[in-house]
Chain A
Amino acid sequence: MIEGGVWRRWVFFRIPLALFLIFLLFPFYWMVITTFRPDNELYIAWQRPTYTPFWTWHPTLDHIRFLFRETAFATWLWNTMFISICSTIISLICGVLAGYALSRLNFPFAGGLGTTIFITYLVPQTLLFIPLSEIIRNYNLGDTPWALILTYPTFLIPFCTWLMMGYFKAIPKELEECARIDGASRWKAMLYIVIPVAVPGILSAGIFAFTLSWNEFIYALVFLSSPQQKTVPVGVVSELIRGDVFFWGALMAGALLGSIPVAIAYSFFVEHYVSGLTGSVKG
C-alpha cells in the first residue's frame, strides 16, 4: 500500500485509478447509451441546447427490436455460439492432450515440437486466410459453419496447447507417479488425477479460446458470404453499415448483445479463471 498522508493516497492511487477506469469503461458506456437512445436524439447537431450526449431522457428498445426484426441477428448469435462452442471443444481436447504429451512424455524432439507449435500461433491470420480459403474451397466448405469450426483451431490449438503445457508442468509429477504405483495406468492416471487437478487451467484455456473465436473477424468475413451464415462481428458490420450509412443505434445494440455472452462466460468462470492464472496446486 501507499504510505503517508491521506492526500498521497488520493494523488497517487485513487485519482489515477479513477481516470484509468473512466478511460477503460467509457467505450462500453457509450455503447450502452447509444443502444437505448432514440434516433431523433442520435442524429441532432451537437450545438443544439437540448443535446445531452451522456444520457438520454427517452430510452427506447427500438434498435434492439430493429436488430431482431429487420436483420438475422438471432441467427448470427446462434451461428456464433455454435461455431465458438464447437471450435473451443475441438481445440480443448487437442490442446489438453497435446499439452500433456509435450510436458510429460519424454519423446525425442518434444521441446522442439512445442516451440514449433507456438510458432504456428505467431503466423498472422491475415496471411493464413489466403491458403486456408483455398483449402476451404477445395473441400466445398465455403459458406458453412464448418469453414470456421475447422479453421479456428489453427490458432486455438497452439494457444490451448501452450497454455496447458505450462499448466501441466506446474503439477508435481509425483502425483501421477503415485497414481501409477497405486495401480492406475498412464491413461487412468491422466484421467483421474492430472486432468481433475488441471481443471482451472482447462477452464482458462476454454474461456480464452471461446472469446477468441467469438470475436474472430477475418476468417468469418472471408469464408462466409450469405447473411444467414454470418457470425455476430461480421453480420453487424456488413449488414448495418450500408455504404456510408451507419445504423449507429442498431450497431451498438448488436455490439452490446454480442458482448454479453462473453461477459457471462467470464463472470461465470471467474473464480476458476483467476485461480487458473495464478496456479492453484500446492503440496
Chain B
Amino acid sequence: MANVSIREVHKRYDDFHAVKGVSLDIRDQEFLVLVGPSGCGKTTTLRMVAGLESITEGQILIGDTVVNELPPMDRDIAMVFQNYALYPHMSVYDNMAFGLKMRKFQKPEIRKRVEQAADILGISDHLKRKPRQLSGGQRQRVALGRAIVRNPQVFLFDEPLSNLDAKLRVQMRVEIKKLHQRLATTSIYVTHDQVEAMTLGDRVVVMKDGLIQQVGEPLELYNHPANKYVAGFIGSPAMNFADVKITSAGDRLVAENGAMRIAVPDAMRQRLAPHAGKPATLGIRPEDLRMANGSDPAETTFEAVVEVAEQLGSEVILDLSAGNSTMVASVEPTVRVKPQEKIRLAVNPAGLRFFDAASEAAI
C-alpha cells in the first residue's frame, strides 16, 4: 500500500501539450477516478504513473520514491487495460501467473495466489481455458485477477469497462467497488463515464485539455461544481444552462433573460452582488425543475414549450425550449404533456448555480 504523489507533471509530444501541470495527492487506500472527455490527458497521466510514458516535466512519487526514471516493472503497480490485454497464447492460469513467474515466485506460492484470486473473482472453473474462449466479462475478470495476484502497491485502471455492454458494465462496476473494499489497495481509475466516476471514486478528478478542472468527493462535484464545465459534465441528464443578466430589483437580485425572470435566493445574494448588471450563466439541474402549481411564487417559475417527452417509468424527461435556450427537466412520472404544449416549470431555488459569463468559473 502506498500513496501516490503527482507534482506539477507535464507531458509534451512534438507539437502537442497533452498534460499541462497536473498535481494530485492520492492517499493510501484511496480510490481516485480521473474523468474527462477523450484527449483531456487523463490516460496520459495514468500512463506516466505506470511508467509507459516518459514524464516531460515534474515528479511522480509512489510511496516515498520518485519513480520518474524507474521502468514499469520496478514500480510495483498493476494495470488493467480497456482491451483486457490478455496474453492470447496462454491459459487463464498462465496469464495470472505470468507476473509472479517474472518475479521468480515459488511454484506453490504462485498456485496458491492464482487460485485465491480466481476464487475471489469467480473464475476458478476457467483456469485452463484460453482467453478467446471467454466472454467479455470473464476476460475482464481475468485481467483483474492478473492485477490482484501480485498484491501491488497501486492499481491502475484504464477505462476497464468501456468494452463491455451496458448491463455487464454496471455489474463489473459493483465488483470493482467490492474488490476495492476488500483489498483496500490505492487505485487510480480512468474513465470518460461520469456515472462510473461518481459511483466508484472516493474522490473524482475532472480533467479537460490537460488541466484539472476540479478535485473532490463525488457529491461535492455534483453540488458545488467549480465551473461551468464540471457542472455540465457531472450529472445525467446534464445541467441546463441559460444566458442571463443579473439585475437588482429593489433589495433583491434577479436573473433574467427574454424567457425567464428568476429571483436569486437570499443565501446567494452576497456572492452575486458584485455581478449585478453583468451577464452570467444560470445553471439548473433537470432534477431541480418540476411542474409549477398555483402556490409557486412567480419569481421561481418560468414558461417553456414541450418539444419531446420521454417516459422512463420512474420519471419523465422533458425536452423543452424556453426562449433561446433548450432545457431538460426531469419530472414526476404522473405528468402527462403533449409536444408543443406550453407548461410552467418551477425551480428549486437551492439548486440554482451561477457562473461568470467570461471565465465560466462558479460564482
Contacts of B79 in A (CB 8 A): 177-178, 181
Bound CA–CA A188/B102 (angstroms): 9
Q: Which of B151-182 touch A at CB < 8 Å?
A: 163
| Other-chain residue from A175, A184, A185, A199 in contact with B85 (beta carbon distance below 8 A) | A175
Closest Cβ of chain B to A173, distance in Å, is 9
Q: Which of B61-87 touch A at CB < 8 Å?
A: 71-73, 75, 77-79, 81-87
Contact flag A180-B132 (CB < 8 Å), given A196-B89, A197-B87, A197-B88: no
| Contact, CB under 8 Å: B132 / A282 | yes
| Contact, CB under 8 Å: B102 / A177 | no
Contact flag A184-B73 (CB < 8 Å), given A174-B81, A282-B132: yes
| Other-chain residue from B52, B71, B89 in contact with A197 (beta carbon distance below 8 A) | B89
Contacts of B146 in A (CB 8 A): 178, 182
| Other-chain residue from A181, A188, A282 in contact with B72 (beta carbon distance below 8 A) | A181
Answer whether residue A183 sits at the interface, using C-beta atoms and an 8 A cutoff: yes
Main secondary structure of the interface of B (DSSP, over half): loop
Closest Cβ of chain B to A197, distance in Å, is 6
Answer whether residue A112 sits at the interface, using C-beta atoms and an 8 A cutoff: no
Closest Cβ of chain B to A190, distance in Å, is 13
Mark each residue of chain A from 154 to 184: 1 if its CB lies under 8 Å from any CB of chain B, else 0. Answer: 0000000000000000001011011111111
Bound CA–CA A55/B221 (angstroms): 87
Answer whether residue A94 sits at the interface, using C-beta atoms and an 8 A cutoff: no
**CB contacts between A and B, total, < 8 Å:** 71
Answer whether residue A193 sits at the interface, using C-beta atoms and an 8 A cutoff: yes
Contact flag A185-B87 (CB < 8 Å), given A282-B132, A283-B139: no
Contacts of A172 in B (CB 8 A): 83, 85
Closest Cβ of chain B to A272, distance in Å, is 13
Contacts of A175 in B (CB 8 A): 85, 87-88
Bound CA–CA A199/B83 (angstroms): 21
Bound CA–CA A175/B81 (angstroms): 9
Answer whether residue A130 sits at the interface, using C-beta atoms and an 8 A cutoff: no
Range class of the A interface residue count: 20 to 34
Closest Cβ of chain B to A215, distance in Å, is 32
Closest Cβ of chain A to B137, distance in Å, is 13
| Other-chain residue from A184, A196, A283 in contact with B84 (beta carbon distance below 8 A) | A283
Q: What is the total number of residues of chain B having a CB less than 8 Å from a CB of chain A?
A: 28
Contact flag A182-B102 (CB < 8 Å), given A177-B52, A281-B88, A282-B132: yes
Contacts of B99 in A (CB 8 A): 181-183
- Nearest B-chain residue to A171, judged by Cβ: B88
| Other-chain residue from B87, B103, B132, B163 in contact with A183 (beta carbon distance below 8 A) | B103
Answer whether residue B40 sits at the interface, using C-beta atoms and an 8 A cutoff: no
| Other-chain residue from A180, A199, A281, A283 in contact with B73 (beta carbon distance below 8 A) | A180
Contacts of A177 in B (CB 8 A): 50, 52, 72, 79, 81, 85
- Nearest B-chain residue to A282, judged by Cβ: B132
Contacts of A183 in B (CB 8 A): 73, 99, 102-103, 150
Bound CA–CA A281/B132 (angstroms): 10
Contact flag A182-B98 (CB < 8 Å), given A172-B85, A197-B88, A283-B84: yes
- Nearest A-chain residue to B50, judged by Cβ: A181
Closest Cβ of chain A to B175, distance in Å, is 20
| Contact, CB under 8 Å: A181 / B78 | yes
Bound CA–CA A281/B88 (angstroms): 7
Contact flag A181-B77 (CB < 8 Å), given A283-B84, A283-B163: yes
- Nearest B-chain residue to A188, judged by Cβ: B102
Bound CA–CA A174/B79 (angstroms): 10
| Other-chain residue from A178, A180, A185, A196 in contact with B81 (beta carbon distance below 8 A) | A178
- Nearest B-chain residue to A177, judged by Cβ: B52
Q: Which of B246-298 touch A at CB < 8 Å?
A: none
Contacts of B84 in A (CB 8 A): 283
Bound CA–CA A193/B150 (angstroms): 19
Closest Cβ of chain B to A237, distance in Å, is 44
Closest Cβ of chain A to B102, distance in Å, is 4
Bound CA–CA A283/B87 (angstroms): 9
Closest Cβ of chain A to B118, distance in Å, is 17
Contacts of B103 in A (CB 8 A): 183
Bound CA–CA A281/B73 (angstroms): 25
Mark each residue of chain B from 238 to 249: 1 if its CB lies under 8 Å from any CB of chain A, else 0. Answer: 000000000000
Bound CA–CA A181/B78 (angstroms): 6
| Contact, CB under 8 Å: A174 / B83 | yes
Bound CA–CA A188/B83 (angstroms): 22
Contacts of B163 in A (CB 8 A): 283
Mark each residue of chain B from 29 to 55: 1 if its CB lies under 8 Å from any CB of chain A, else 0. Answer: 000000000000000000000111000
Closest Cβ of chain A to B71, distance in Å, is 7
Bound CA–CA A50/B319 (angstroms): 92
Contacts of B51 in A (CB 8 A): 180-181
Mark each residue of chain A from 206 to 249: 1 if its CB lies under 8 Å from any CB of chain B, else 0. Answer: 00000000000000000000000000000000000000000000
Closest 5 CB pairs of A and B: A183-B102, A182-B99, A174-B85, A178-B85, A174-B81
Additional pairs, 14, CB under 8 Å, beyond known A175-B88, A188-B102: A172-B83, A174-B85, A175-B85, A175-B87, A178-B85, A180-B51, A180-B52, A181-B77, A182-B99, A182-B146, A185-B73, A192-B98, A281-B88, A283-B84
Q: Which residues of B are interface residues toward A (Cβ below 8 A)?
A: 50-52, 71-73, 75, 77-79, 81-89, 98-99, 102-103, 132, 139, 146, 150, 163
A sample of 9 inter-chain contacts (CB < 8 A) reads A177-B81, A179-B102, A180-B51, A181-B50, A182-B150, A183-B102, A197-B89, A281-B88, A282-B88
